[in-house]
Structure 1
Amino acid sequence: MDFDLLDEAYERLHRTGPEYRGWLSNHGPMTVEALARHGHGARIHRWLDAYLPRLDDLPGTRDAITDWRAALGDPARIGDWLAYFDRALEEQPWPEVLGRWWPRLLPGLAAGATHGVIRVGHAVRALRAGSTPTRLTELGQALAYWAARWQAIPGLPGVTTGQLGAAADLLDVATGLPGRAEVAVALAGIPRIDDQTGGIRDRLGRLPDLPDWPASVAALRPAHTPDEARKLLGELVHRAALDYLRFAHGEPVMLVHAVTAPTAVLRTLPALDPALWAPSLAAAWAATAAITAGYAPTVGTTPSVVPNTSPEEALHRAAEHGDAHVIKLADAVADVYLHTGDERVLGAVAHAARLV
């Protein structure tokens, strides 16, 4: 991993805000971590030179956060959340800050179209490789973004939707899932909303009106041990990557998050108390199910792609392509291939590169 180049990239990016042009997510920190992780550090600064001009400046503060429940999910307070987590990480070790805030943020996994948790996952992976001031800052900015955009997924077990303030008080995240289905069966049973228009907030808002949604989001079998939760999360990422090949023609960018959001959760597990692994599975499953319901077409296809023969080739293809979503998808499926040996998932990168 190109550690020095990653820290240089973080320094450049930490002058920018987590969003731009309204509420488009800043993909820079996630992308440079993936490039650095896989030996493509030489591309980072050139990639940033092209990407940075589109970003907004780092937002300023308004008032110090004293009641975190009241500020949760308030994007107007992104600057205040940034300052809050900067202080928290100065005062306490990062695993303690993460461990305290993970169960608070987990029910709002939809934050920023799941980019909150995805950015946290990349930051945690970088910190587990070695702690530096810039990586601590990155974790703080990632957590701040998640907190400011906190949004519950309708039907997530253990979470009452409705008024944000009420949901924000729920720290007792689901301890598991009530269903019986294996991952592949549960994913195959996800219904689709009829009106697949608008942004993710619009589409999530239509899920409660979908008759089969409550049963579908609760269908996955529970994890009875932390190791089982980790195994099921791995299977979820694997199956979501294969589903990308079938359904990405419907929405090639957003469906990437059905893969990368549970990947981020999976990567964060080693830094968390194992007691949090089962609720983490529940939230990751709900996120993938919601993205599938909101963006995947009802009819899949079999794309005619020439699969990459190795994760290195897939990552090289993604780095050459340059799109942040293609790079992050390649990063995720490289992990899947490492653990499963399933070459089919590598084809998702070529498919994404063609569609995005």
Structure 2
Amino acid sequence: MTTYHDAVNDALERLDDLGYERSLGGGDLANHGPMGAETLAVLGHGDAVPAWVAVYRAAAPHHEPPVAHQRLDSTEDSWRPALGDIGRAGDFEELFAREIDADGWQTVLQRWWPRLLAGPLTGLTHGLIRTAHAVRSIAATDSPTGIQLTELSRGLGYWAARFIDKPGPGRLRGSLSLPQAVAAMRRSAQPPTSPAEGQRRLRSPDDMPGYHDNLELLGPERIQSLLSDMTAEFAGVCVAHSNGMFPIPLVHGVTAPAAARLVLPYLPEDQHEATAAALWQTQVTLAMITTVDSGGEAEARDRAASAEVPAWDELVARAVDHKDEHVIKFTEACLREHTLRPDPRYAWAADLAQQRIERPDGDSGPAMVARFAKP
């Protein structure tokens, strides 16, 4: 049986020639290969990684890997003007690789996490999520390989090169609990009319009426408890708005907090509340882009408790067989969060995602992008 460490390194070598993004459904979406493969290995299915990588590579063409053009230095006047410039992706990757080699991966992570956290929605949260998967693989061994450290530089590099800095860092200064804040959240008057409109709202969410008020709803809470509230509540939000087609953008309201939890042990405590605030900003934005009301959300837990859902072993096996990267990552995140604090919404959401998200051998690309336009 292939070990986790061997499966991860084999996958990274097989995916090494792919760029940061792929062309899918008429848009440029994040490269999910390293994240999906690492998740398969975590689930104990390292033997399935080579075949999965082959399916993933065949599903959509990827851009060329970024190339460094102009050296970036660690001084703020050098790197800050380059934030959000995808043309500088290779320069950022080279900067992070150089810093990791000189200072160690954890020092670099602690240095750059608060700088990039102001843009949690970068790549529909995949800057943060790819970084977190890289951290999990590195932290699992006393001797990370060069390609594992390169993967961390690429996660950070993508986050920096696609950085979205609007509307600035969130804050936890409200008075509501997470479930209360989600229930009170103002939604959009109508969903985006096109993928392009969805992307515009993602880049400038503060243009949506009520956005800043929503950011002020949530009060401070112990970080681990708050992350559990976030993932459980948004598992229910995903299901409440599935309506025959599982809303993939909302999935990241679960996977982003679950991914951030993987990183917290390697961050100083004074970065934890800012992390939670950025995740709330992410959930507000995703909910306002994707939903027009809160219908079905309050009842989601009770409905999940009475639903006939397969056991987790079967859900994991079905996710591996399904092969869609979102299904795999979502199922693993839900299982991990359920293990920490059981909630029936996790298994129900994973089950419905597996049923309603198209397999990668189907015509899934345009439908996935179009989900930005569905409530």
The residue number in structure 1 matching 2:214 is: 216
**Structure 1 SS opposite 2:346:** helix
Which one of the candidate residues 37, 42, 47 is aligned to 1:37? 42
Deviations 1:269-307 (Å, cap 9, x if unpaired)?
001011100000000111011101111242534689642
The residue number in structure 2 matching 1:103 is: 114
**Structure 2 SS opposite 1:154:** coil
Structure 1 position 291 matched with structure 2 position 286? yes
Letter in structure 2 aligned against 1:348: A
Q: Distance in 2 between matches of 1:51 and 1:298?
A: 35
Q: Distance in 2 between matches of 1:265 and 1:121?
A: 6
Q: Distance in 2 between matches of 1:279 and 1:325?
A: 26
Scaled by the length of structure 1, the TM-score of the pair is 0.88
The residue number in structure 2 matching 1:253 is: 248
Structure 1 position 71 matched with structure 2 position 82? yes
The residue number in structure 1 matching 2:132 is: 121
The residue number in structure 1 matching 2:53 is: 48
Which one of the candidate residues 205, 208, 233 is aligned to 2:227? 233
1:285–1:44 distance in 2 versus 1, CA, 3 Å: same
The residue number in structure 1 matching 2:182 is: 187
Unaligned runs of 5+ in 1: 158-175
Deviations 1:172-218 (Å, cap 9, x if unpaired)?
xxxx5110100101111222223422344312356434332222111
Q: Distance in 2 between matches of 1:192 and 1:343?
A: 25
Which one of the candidate residues 92, 95, 105 is aligned to 1:81? 92
Task: Tell me the CA shift for residue 239 of structure 1.
Answer: 1.2
Task: Tell me the CA shift for residue 331 of structure 1.
Answer: 1.1
Which one of the candidate residues 2, 18, 27 is aligned to 2:4? 2
Q: Distance in 2 between matches of 1:7 and 1:110?
A: 28
Letter in structure 2 aligned against 1:273: P
**Structure 2 SS opposite 1:111:** coil
Do 2:116 and 2:159's aligned partners in 1 also have CA atoms closer than 8 Å? yes
Task: Tell me the CA shift for residue 34 of structure 1.
Answer: 0.6
Scaled by the length of structure 2, the TM-score of the pair is 0.84
Letter in structure 1 aligned against 2:49: I
**Structure 2 SS opposite 1:23:** strand
1:206–1:101 distance in 2 versus 1, CA, 3 Å: closer
Q: Distance in 2 between matches of 1:203 and 1:248?
A: 21
Structure 1 position 24 matched with structure 2 position 29? yes
Letter in structure 1 aligned against 2:104: P
The residue number in structure 2 matching 1:170 is: none
The residue number in structure 1 matching 2:371 is: none
The residue number in structure 1 matching 2:373 is: none
| Bigger Cα displacement from structure 2, 25-34 vs 55-64 | 55-64
Q: Distance in 2 between matches of 1:210 and 1:179?
A: 20
Q: Distance in 1 between matches of 2:6 and 2:257?
A: 28
Aligned residues: 333
1:318–1:34 distance in 2 versus 1, CA, 3 Å: same
Letter in structure 2 aligned against 1:354: Q
Q: Distance in 1 between matches of 2:237 and 2:331?
A: 15
Letter in structure 2 aligned against 1:293: M
Structure 1 segment 136-285 matched on structure 2, within 5 A: 136-154=149-167, 156-157=169-170, 176-197=171-192, 198-199=195-196, 200-204=198-202, 207-223=205-221, 228-249=222-243, 252-285=247-280
Letter in structure 2 aligned against 1:280: T
1:316–1:125 distance in 2 versus 1, CA, 3 Å: same
Superposition RMSD on alpha carbons, in Å?
A: 2.0
1:39–1:354 distance in 2 versus 1, CA, 3 Å: same
Q: Distance in 1 between matches of 2:94 and 2:205?
A: 34
Structure 1 position 316 matched with structure 2 position 321? no
The residue number in structure 1 matching 2:146 is: 133
Deviations 1:150-175 (Å, cap 9, x if unpaired)?
10343643xxxxxxxxxxxxxxxxxx
| Bigger Cα displacement from structure 2, 341-350 vs 90-99 | 341-350
Do 2:183 and 2:294's aligned partners in 1 also have CA atoms closer than 8 Å? no
1:195–1:156 distance in 2 versus 1, CA, 3 Å: farther
Do 1:110 and 1:153's aligned partners in 2 also have CA atoms closer than 8 Å? no
